[in-house]
């Protein structure tokens, strides 16, 4: 096994978990925070900023790119990464809807 049974879940459930999975590693959280902090985008400074090897950072960037949260621009030999604001907003809407479930009345028996 080790394989998630995605087929038995709704599209929404799979979308939420896919997004959350990407946030499920501190390095990726750190990368996103850094990209937000440095207004203009930054490339391999991430390797220095975060204490992981270059291939590891590259791998994390790939996952962030795959889900569409960041995008990269080639500038000379380096690559300039930054947050994809539009997709970030869409993602936030999906995730917030999930997080705000508790707003709908509901009691608690425990």
| 92 membership: H or E segment, kind and range | helix 85-99
Q: Is the dihedral of CA 36, 38, 43, 48 positive or negative?
A: negative
Partners of 82 in the β-ladder: 71
Within a 10 A sphere around the Cβ of 67, how many other Cβ atoms? 17
3 touching its own copies, by CB under 8 A: no
Residue 58 near which of its own copies, DNA, none (CB within 5-8 Å, type-dependent): DNA
Q: Which is nearer to its own copies, 77 or 100 (CB)?
A: 100
Q: What angle do CA 40, 58, 92 make, to 5 degrees?
A: 60
Binding site for DNA (CB under 7 A): 1-5, 21, 24-25, 27, 43-44, 47, 52-56, 58-63, 72, 74, 76-79
Interface residues toward its own copies, by CB under 8 A? 4-6, 8-10, 13-14, 16-17, 20-30, 32-33, 36, 39-41, 50-52, 71-73, 80-85, 88-89, 92, 95-96, 98-102, 104-110
């Amino acid at each position: 096994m080790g394989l998630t049974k995605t087929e038995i879940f709704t599209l929404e459930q799979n979308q939420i978990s896919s997004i959350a999975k990407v946030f499920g590693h501190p390095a990726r959280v750190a990368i996103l925070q850094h990209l937000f902090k440095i207004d203009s985008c930054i490339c391999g400074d991430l390797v220095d900023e975060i204490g992981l090897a270059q291939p590891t950072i590259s791998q994390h960037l790939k996952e962030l790119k795959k889900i569409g949260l960041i995008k990269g621009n080639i500038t000379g030999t380096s690559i300039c990464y930054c947050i994809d604001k539009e997709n970030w907003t869409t993602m936030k809407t999906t995730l917030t809807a999930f997080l705000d479930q508790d707003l709908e009345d509901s009691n608690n028996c425990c």
